[in-house]
Amino acid sequence: MSTPREPQPGKLVLSVLAREQWWRSHWAVVHAELAERFGPVDYRSGLLPFDHTQYYEAELGAPLFRRLIAFERLLPLDGLLAAKLATNELERAHARPDGTRRVNLDPGVLTLERLVLASGKNFTHRVYLGSGIWADLTLIYNKRQGWVILPWTFPDYATDDMLRRLTALRTLYKTAIEAGDIRPEQGEHPCP
């Protein structure tokens, strides 16, 4: 019989997607609200053109740009649900008067073994967390191969550029774990 144990916390990663004009006029306020909610940011990419899908253009507009950010404070793995609910609330607070979003905030949690994103949509590989939120196993990490793309991995998370960024974030996370002397519990399996 296995003995239940609390896992190590993960690194909260957030994809922020919006039109170019939004970044100039709204980013500073939203960034401050995110830092107030989740703590100091320890990684922030530049603005990255987002042209992997037209899914968001009807609501957010075009052209779209993404910024990937991550937070210094580690997140308990069961905190992904609360993070998604908080980012949904921020999206609503900054929506247009008609209720349509100006920004898309997609949180995920990165560990040494995987990247899991939160979603409000069900799909065959997603696991229900509660409150209408699902966990999407987006990528797994293998020491021999690095990031492993799964059949359902979003195309934008499968690019070489994104995988390099996630590797840098994984290194930040690993350093934080080692500095805090947080080790896997006996009996846990390290990533292959």
pLDDT in tens, 130-164: 999 999 999 999 999 999 999 999 999 999 999 99
Confidence class for position 189, pLDDT limits 50, 70, 90:
very low
* Mean pLDDT of all residues in 6-29: 94
Q: Is the pLDDT of residue 111 over 60?
A: yes
Q: Could you tell me the CA-to-CA distances from 88 to 19, 40, 82, 134 in Å, in that order?
A: 18, 20, 10, 13
**Distances, alpha carbon 44 to alpha carbons 16, 18, 30, in Å:** 10, 15, 14
Which pLDDT score, from 0 to 100, does residue 59 have? 87
Helix 20-38 × helix 80-93 angle, to 10°: 140
What is the pTM (predicted TM-score) of this model?
0.90
- pLDDT number for residue 182: 53
